[in-house]
Structure 1
Amino acid sequence: MINTLIGLMGAYAFQGFNLILTYLECYICIALFARKLGRRDFFPVRVVMTLLDGCAVCFLLAIWYTEARSLPVRVLCYSTISGLNFIALLFCWKDDLSETLLAFCSGMATYQFTNKLYPLLQNFLGINDRETNSLLHGGPGKATNLDWVVFFGFHLLAFFILSTVFTPKNKLVHNQRTARNVIVLSISTVALVNILICISRVYEGESFMLNLVVKVLYVGLSLTILTICAGIFSQSEQEQQINILHQLWRQDRAQFESVKANMDLINMKCHDIKHILDKIEDKLTCEEAASLREAIQFYDANIKTGNEVLDVVLCEKAMTCQKNGISFSCMADGTGLEFLTPVQTYSLFGNIIDNAVEAVKALPPEERVVSLTCHEEEGALVIEESNYFSGGLELDHGLPATSKGDVSRHGFGTKSIQYIAGQYGGTMDIKVLGNMFFLTIRFPTKPRKG
């Protein structure tokens, strides 16, 4: 069937088939990377239109190149094919320009990788890729239907694997640096595919070794482009997470200042109430006086760890635990935490205890237990927390996955803890034994901010 279609093209069959096949393969590659982009209305109709129009333009280009064969014409032909694919991408899909360009670059790199890997395998098998497209036998001659099945099967499988591996899971975070990187990458990719490839094609037939070197070079360059595209998404995601962490820390700063002011006010009121109680205690029953003194003792329970910020956050969380019927035990020496900023101290211990409270507050009363220690051990400052939990614990890259619906805003408590630890050369470890959860943070005794 393929040979019949080639025969219908007449004198322009060779170039027509090559250009149309290049257009279709690039189209498939780009479409695989664009499958998570938004689709425009009447998407199937748009796809058919771009396929038919693209093939028609490619055949016209084949006529031009056959009649005026030269390197500049070849470069213009393949540049036009890249332009047709980009226009098709914009015509069929709708999304941010940066994500659209990355899908285009990834698709073009995938096409180039596969387009060079297949003949490279032929060469390793002793088959001249200029004589046949067969991967099963060498020598000139028309390709059989089986040869075409192997050819297309190899290419489609490679397209699918590469698009699965390198297609990002999340959306791109848009900023000026990301946009600049995407534009530079797009220009470089187009230059690679349309200029260097055309030029190298002229000279790669001069020797077998040069042929191999050129193919290996472009396989490596194509993988590099795919890796860079994936890296841009990864970098933008990390920047987004860091921005969210800093935003949460700003909220923690405001909350810390508010809590500290409230704690100071409560301590002053408790001090005043003590004096009043001393004067009127003889007018109260024993039970009433004991109840009032117990309440005063709780609200006036100044936890002294040697670190003022840690004292505030532990007092606040102790009240939260009492409100939820949670037994909170704490043995903390905060004198070694001076390397942390006040906001980092508040955020670190606040997130540790908040996560624990969230885990135990729905458990039976006997399992509503949270334990926290902070001490020096074997040349390191160690923070340890343990609590019960129910159900399975799903880990995402070594961190507990959030159980809340809005994953873009939740799940940052543990990430914040890990980020703060990493800033000072520390580590965070999570262990689960049965229905017990253990969190250990270890800082070097003389941490340096990374």
Structure 2
Amino acid sequence: MKLFPRLFSRKIEKQISSYQQELIETHYREVENMYRQIRGWRHDYKNHIQTMKAYAASGDWEAICHYLDLLDEDLTTVDTVIKTGNPMTDAILNSKISLARAKGITVQADAHIPVRLTSSEIDLCCILGNLFDNAIEASLALPEEQRLIRVYMDMKNTQLYISFTNFTAGRKLTKMGKRFQTTKGEGHGFGLVRIDAIVGKLDGYISRGSEDGAFTTEILLPQL
């Protein structure tokens, strides 16, 4: 009688492990794409300087101003949005912020990590990536002018505090057991399971709340 629960548990663990690996690979591609853009811009830097020198030599200041405007516009697409003090966190947050904005979602982020983290950066990457993916998915159900994600990270004494808030389609989400019901397809619930598993492993604390029009997740991770 106990064989079936064990087999079911192993199947779930295998699916979660596969999902985690897929998530990490997706995040890696997103971050790599961001840095590829930065490397490309730096590679072209000398050419930009030579072009402006040529305009300056001919006294064409109008052309220089126009060229600088074009460079400024181009640079905003690769400029670092967030500098938390932790490179891995910067990479995942900036890649997700770029992805969200490309989908017409406004992101308000205030994140600071002034200490060296004791928790695994891979674990933190999975937590932040899942939180952001869930928030993006929920935001896409709203009209573009109503899409907003708020992110806050900072130290509270010896714990890292993480807060994600996204607006929902004007309704309060319902709970099934310990988790809020998801309207996503099969497999998407593994993100929530993975977050809970990591927070539990790190002896952290997680709280989810749904009020009319907004869904908030708060996490505390010890950093002793």
| Normalised-by-shorter TM-score class | 0.7 to 0.9
CA deviation after TM superposition for structure 1 residue 398, in Å? 2.4
State the partner residue of 2:40: 269
1:384, 1:398 → 2: CA distance? 19
**Which one-letter code corresponds to 1:279 in the other structure?**
Q
Describe the superposition over 1:395-439 as per-residue Cα deviations: whole angstroms up to 9, x where unpaired.
222222221342xx2211121111111111112111122211111
CA deviation after TM superposition for structure 1 residue 442, in Å? 1.0
Q: Which of the residues 425, 428, 439 maps onto 2:203?
A: 425
Change in CA separation of 1:295 and 1:287 when aligned onto 2, cut-off 3 Å: same
| 1:401 correspondence with 2:172 | no
Q: Which of the residues 68, 71, 85 maps onto 1:306?
A: 85
- Gap regions ≥5 residues in structure 1: 1-101, 103-180, 183-231
1:249–1:344 CA contact under 8 A, matched in 2? no
Give the match's secondary structure for 2:76.
helix
State TM-score, norm by structure 1. Answer: 0.44
**Which one-letter code corresponds to 1:346 in the other structure?**
C
State the partner residue of 2:99: 320
The structure with higher relative contact order (CA 8 Å, sep 6+) is 2
State the partner residue of 2:194: 416
Give the match's secondary structure for 1:298.
coil
Describe the superposition over 1:39-75 as per-residue Cα deviations: whole angstroms up to 9, x where unpaired.
xxxxxxxxxxxxxxxxxxxxxxxxxxxxxxxxxxxxx
Q: Which of the residues 229, 252, 256 maps onto 2:23?
A: 252
1:337, 1:253 → 2: CA distance? 22
| 1:389 correspondence with 2:165 | no
CA deviation after TM superposition for structure 1 residue 382, in Å? 0.8
Change in CA separation of 1:256 and 1:326 when aligned onto 2, cut-off 3 Å: closer
**Which one-letter code corresponds to 1:422 in the other structure?**
G
Describe the superposition over 1:205-246 as per-residue Cα deviations: whole angstroms up to 9, x where unpaired.
xxxxxxxxxxxxxxxxxxxxxxxxxxx63x554443332222
User: Bigger shift: 396-405 or 308-317?
Assistant: 396-405
1:256–1:343 CA contact under 8 A, matched in 2? no
C-alpha RMSD of matched pairs (Å): 2.5
Identity within the alignment, %: 22
**Which one-letter code corresponds to 1:330 in the other structure?**
A
**Which one-letter code corresponds to 2:218 in the other structure?**
T
Give the match's secondary structure for 1:299.
coil
Give the match's secondary structure for 2:161.
strand
State the partner residue of 1:441: 219
State the partner residue of 1:360: 139
1:440, 1:371 → 2: CA distance? 12
State the partner residue of 2:108: 329
**Which one-letter code corresponds to 1:243 in the other structure?**
K
Give the match's secondary structure for 2:182.
coil
2:174, 2:116 → 1: CA distance? 31
State TM-score, norm by structure 2. Answer: 0.82
2:100, 2:66 → 1: CA distance? 25
Structure with greater helix percent: 1
**Which one-letter code corresponds to 2:106 in the other structure?**
S
1:438, 1:302 → 2: CA distance? 22
Q: Which of the residues 351, 371, 384 maps onto 2:150?
A: 371
**Pairs aligned (count):** 215
2:81, 2:184 → 1: CA distance? 34
Describe the superposition over 1:258-297 as per-residue Cα deviations: whole angstroms up to 9, x where unpaired.
3343333222112233443333344747456424312213
Report matched runs for 1:262-301 at 5 Å.
262-281=33-52, 282=55, 284=63, 286=65, 289-301=68-80
**Which one-letter code corresponds to 1:358 in the other structure?**
E
